Amino acid sequence: MAKSKYEYVKQFEKNDVLLPNTWLVVRIDGRGFHKFSDQHKFKKPNDQDALNLMNKCAVSVMNDIHDIVLAYGQSDEYSFVLKKDCALYGRRETKIVSTIVSLFTSNYVFYWKNYFPQKELLYPPSFDGRAVLYPADNNFRDYLSWRQVDCHINNLYNTCFWALVISGKTESEAENALRGTISSEKNELLFSQFKINYNNLPEMFRKGSVIIRKEVDVKTTCENGMEVTRKKKVALILHDDIIGDKFWKENPTLGVII
């Protein structure tokens, strides 16, 4: 087919093919969710429905993009992991990142009413996205550990902060009370002042959510009405520790060598 004289403009496009044989992590993060969560009156410090909506969006993204082998989410962010040998879109960075962030955002709007039937979506939410490459397994695992530790640190702080505020302290008094405290002191404060045992709070709040594909038995009804059980890989939402070796030993198909 003859090319038009305008075809040459393609030469201006940047080559953004990602390095081969490296773990690829795409992290999306809610844009201005401080304001978004305030305006939509999300429960503090954790809104179960908002987190479940995030998880639903991540499962949808995984069901659409099969190269994603694991996703980890907390707060207004989700990290999607693509295997080292992933060849999706010829490993073109902008194509991969923009597809994931766009799919996530459209799902967020699409499923909003299922999680907040009583709340109108006041304005269109948006997410940013970035890709990071990790050549070594230990760097990749440290990346996920960093996000899970972040979840824990923020959740412990926020749980204390809002307990103090609900008990009558002003926000700046609560901030002052927590300044310089270490984890064990925050745990102690929760227990002695509020009878809250931090370890009994929901795992989703303390550890975030991990989504992996696992083979499960699925019952289906055949045309002749007979019920049969088939093995099917489905995206499962877990709230496991992903810092220690146990998770990676139990899920060898992820390909991380311990």
How near is the Cβ of 43 to ligand DGT at its closest, in Å?
Answer: 6
Give yes or no for residue 127 binding Mg ion (CB under 5 A).
Answer: no
Nearer to ligand DGT, 31 or 66 (CB): 31
Q: Is 150 annotated among the ligand-binding residues? A: no
Size of the site for ligand DGT (CB under 6 A): 16
Residues 15-44 that bind ligand DGT (CB under 6 A): 29-34, 37, 42-44
Tokens standing for residue 157: 């702080």
Between the CA of residue 130 and those of 14, 35, 119, what are the distances in Å?
A: 17, 22, 30
Q: Is 31 annotated among the ligand-binding residues? A: yes
Nearer to ligand DGT, 128 or 250 (CB): 128
How near is the Cβ of 139 to ligand DGT at its closest, in Å?
Answer: 23
Token pair 């009370």: residue: 177
Give yes or no for residue 140 binding Mg ion (CB under 5 A).
Answer: no
Cα-Cα end-to-end distance for the chain: 53
Residues 7-36 that bind Mg ion (CB under 5 A): 29-30, 33
User: Quick check: helix, strand or coil at residue 240?
Assistant: coil
Q: Is 33 annotated among the ligand-binding residues? A: yes
Q: Is 152 annotated among the ligand-binding residues? A: no
| 18: DSSP letter | P
Residues near 171 by Cβ (< 8 Å), separated by ≥ 6? 161, 165
Pick from 24, 25, 28, 46 the residue near ligand DGT by CB under 6 A.
46
Nearer to ligand DGT, 14 or 34 (CB): 34
- CA 207/CA 176 separation, integer angstroms: 26
Residues 74-93 that bind Mg ion (CB under 5 A): 75-77
User: Quick check: helix, strand or coil at residue 247?
Assistant: helix
Give yes or no for residue 75 binding ligand DGT (CB under 6 A).
Answer: yes
Contact 83, 7 (CB under 8 A): no
Pick from 28, 50, 164, 189 the residue near ligand DGT by CB under 6 A.
50
| 179: DSSP letter | T
Sign, CA torsion 84/90/94/99: negative
User: Quick check: helix, strand or coil at residue 30?
Assistant: strand
Strands 127-134 and 77-82: unpaired
Q: Is 32 annotated among the ligand-binding residues? A: yes
Nearer to ligand DGT, 45 or 213 (CB): 45
How near is the Cβ of 147 to Mg ion at its closest, in Å?
Answer: 10
Contact 72, 147 (CB under 8 A): yes
Q: Which residues participate in the annotated binding site for Mg(2+)?
A: 29-30, 76
Residues that bind Mg ion (CB under 5 A): 29-30, 33, 75-77
Residues that bind ligand DGT (CB under 6 A): 29-34, 37, 42-44, 46-47, 50-51, 75-76
